[in-house]
Every structure is written in structure tokens, then in C-alpha cells.
Structure 1
């Protein structure tokens, strides 16, 4: 019987360490990465403009009324805001899975927008309503839970 020497111990330690590292690298490379934004740098550069848009939009925070029915998610826009929309968009952002995000473009003034529940998964969304009035940008964000 051969004696267990310190050289054998070091060799076994290195083999186990490298095998563990390889398993971790394979595990980490198979994980999906969901980023909030694909263009973080551009968002950071425009952050001061985003602050101005939020300040400008504070007076319209109660302009949205969100209702859920069996078939759809209805977003009612206050008439005084709906009349001033030159163009805009509604963006349903799902923090847990960016593949489930939905964007609707508003080409004309409208007071109601609906999202079909068949397109939505149950869970938390963030509704971002962005619109322009005479070239000035406004934006409202609201959390939405879909059941």
C-alpha cells in the first residue's frame, strides 16, 4: 500500500478546485440575464432630461385610471390630458422578464387604451405612459398587477 504524501494531497486539491471552477463556469454561462435597459450609457447621459420630464409631469400623476376586466387591462386617460396628446406610447414593462414587455404607440388623441390579457402573464408590470404636447415630453409611471 502506497503512503498518502503531501504531493498527492496538493494534486487532489488542485483537481477538485479546477473541477469545481469548471462546474461553476458552466452553470453561470447558462443563466439568462435580463437587463432593465440595453443602453445603460445613453440612459445615464440623458438622466438630467429625465428629471426635467418627471418634474414637468407631476401635475398629471392622477391622469390615469387602470382597470382590469376578464379579457383586458383598460387604461383610461383623463380627458384634459387626452385632448393634448400629439403623439405618445404606452409601455408595459415586466421587471422579471424583458421578453414580456409590450409597447403600444398612440398616433392620435385617445382617452382609453386596452391591453389584451391573453398577451399578459400574471404578475407585476410597470406602465410607462409617455406623450408629447407641442414638442414637450411628459411621462407617468404606474405599477400594475395582472391577475
Structure 2
């Protein structure tokens, strides 16, 4: 077989297309984790979120987070617990939404316990949100599970 410039170009283009196809297949198989699935709606409602955060500032020290051997415990201050009409606790895992834990709050609950078996080691963001007299409040706090 005779090697000339046409054969070299053909071999180069063939290898380039095979490498491109391999990268496309690799990219398609990657797991994409968005911070929020409804990020557009979250952006539109950003002013409301700023109002919620401003309302929540007086309660920033109302949560006490404890991690014991087999239980992750959230203690709620008595004054805050008396004001809660409804709400939820989200342990948000930034690296993978598959590991998020969502718990609904009972009215006037003072302690929330989560088994450590439900959590994996690493960083979570505790999003504690509640309603009181028709207004929404929210506290965010980073948590490391060991």
C-alpha cells in the first residue's frame, strides 16, 4: 500500500471522528445534577426569597444541630416551636439530589431526629422552612456528616 498525503488525511479524519464519537457517548452517559430542577421559577421569585430571608434573621440561632453516634438531631427553640404552623426540613446534598432527605414538621415540634443510616458521609445543607401566620420563613445551615 502506498502512503501519500490523501491516505494520511483519511486516517487523521477517521481517528478524529472516532474520538469525537467516543467523547459524545461519554458525555451523554454523565449524570447531570442541577441545584434546582425549577431554577427558572426560583430566579423569578428571588425577591420573595430575599423577603423570606429578611424575616428569618431573628430566628438564626433558634436551631441547635447535634450529631451523635447514630442519630442526627435538630433541637428547635421553644419560642420558635410555638409559632410554627407547618413546615419541613430538607437535608440538601449539593453533590447529588438522590441523597436528599425531606421531613415534614409536626405543629409545635421541638425535636427532629434522623437516623444516620438515612444519611451518607459528607456535606449537607439544612434547609429549615416553616409558615407562621401565613408568612414563610427559612433558615439555611451547612452540616457535615461524619
After TM superposition, is the score higher than 0.5?
A: yes
What's the CA shift for 1:29?
Answer: 1.0
Aligned partner of 2:18 in structure 1 is: 19
* Deviation string, structure 1 residues 58-87 (Cα, Å, up to 9, x no partner): 111111100011121000011111110000
Aligned partner of 2:7 in structure 1 is: 8
Aligned partner of 2:130 in structure 1 is: 131
Give the Cα separation in 2 of the matches to 1:97 and 1:81: 31
Give the Cα separation in 1 of the matches to 2:72 and 2:139: 17
Aligned partner of 2:56 in structure 1 is: 57
What's the CA shift for 1:107?
Answer: 3.0
Aligned partner of 1:78 in structure 2 is: 77
Structure 2 gaps, min length 5: none
The TM-score normalised by the length of structure 1 is 0.96
Give the Cα separation in 2 of the matches to 1:61 and 1:5: 74
- Secondary structure of 1:41 counterpart: helix
Q: How many residues align?
A: 146
Where do 4+ consecutive residues of structure 1 move more than 3 Å? none
The TM-score normalised by the length of structure 2 is 0.97
Q: CA RMSD in A?
A: 0.9
Aligned partner of 1:142 in structure 2 is: 141
